[in-house]
């Protein structure tokens, strides 16, 4: 897919770090998680916090195993942790645990060693 906006080389985005990128007056967080790359609006849908000051981390939940709870970490499900109320947002679709609040996400792709941003519908 061409016609994305070139926002830098792949190497400009260190693994598991949020990089603040300004595109046409809009501030975005762009972050790599291994070979995947994500982009989101730098505003928490809850109270507008600057999400770029938060953290990327793997999803942590728990499951019942043989009648006891067992911690479940899912490396394949990265989330952004909000710097204010510590809400977590799924980087794939922006969803949060609390209904009605969704982080705005954008599609980012890797093309020939460059990172492209796509503002259209995901």
Which residues of this protein are in contact with another protein, per CB under 8 A?
46-50, 53-55, 57-58, 60, 71, 73, 81, 83-86, 98-100
* Cβ proximity to another protein, 46 vs 102, nearer residue: 46
Please state, in angstroms and rounded to a whole number, the distance separating the CA atoms of residues 27 and 43.
Answer: 9
* Cβ proximity to another protein, 30 vs 115, nearer residue: 30
Q: Which residues contact 12 (CB under 8 A, 6 or more apart)?
A: 19, 115
**Local structure of residue 91 (DSSP, 8 states):** T
**Nearest distance from C-beta of residue 121 to another protein, angstroms:** 27
**Nearest distance from C-beta of residue 98 to another protein, angstroms:** 7
**Nearest distance from C-beta of residue 52 to another protein, angstroms:** 8
* Cβ proximity to another protein, 1 vs 71, nearer residue: 71
DSSP 43-78: S-TTT---GGGSEEEEEEEEEEETTEEEEEEEEEEE
């Amino acid at each position: 897919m061409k016609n994305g906006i070139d926002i830098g080389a792949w190497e400009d985005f260190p693994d598991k770090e949020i990089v603040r990128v300004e595109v046409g007056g809009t501030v975005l967080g762009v972050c790599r998680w291994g070979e995947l790359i994500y982009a989101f609006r730098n505003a928490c849908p809850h109270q507008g916090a600057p999400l770029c000051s938060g953290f990327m981390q793997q999803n942590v939940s728990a499951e019942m195993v043989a009648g006891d709870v067992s911690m479940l970490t899912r490396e394949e499900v990265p989330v952004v942790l909000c710097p204010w109320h510590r809400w977590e947002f799924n980087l794939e679709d922006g969803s949060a645990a609390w209904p009605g609040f969704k982080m705005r996400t954008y599609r980012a792709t890797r093309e020939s060693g460059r990172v492209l941003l796509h503002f259209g519908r995901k």
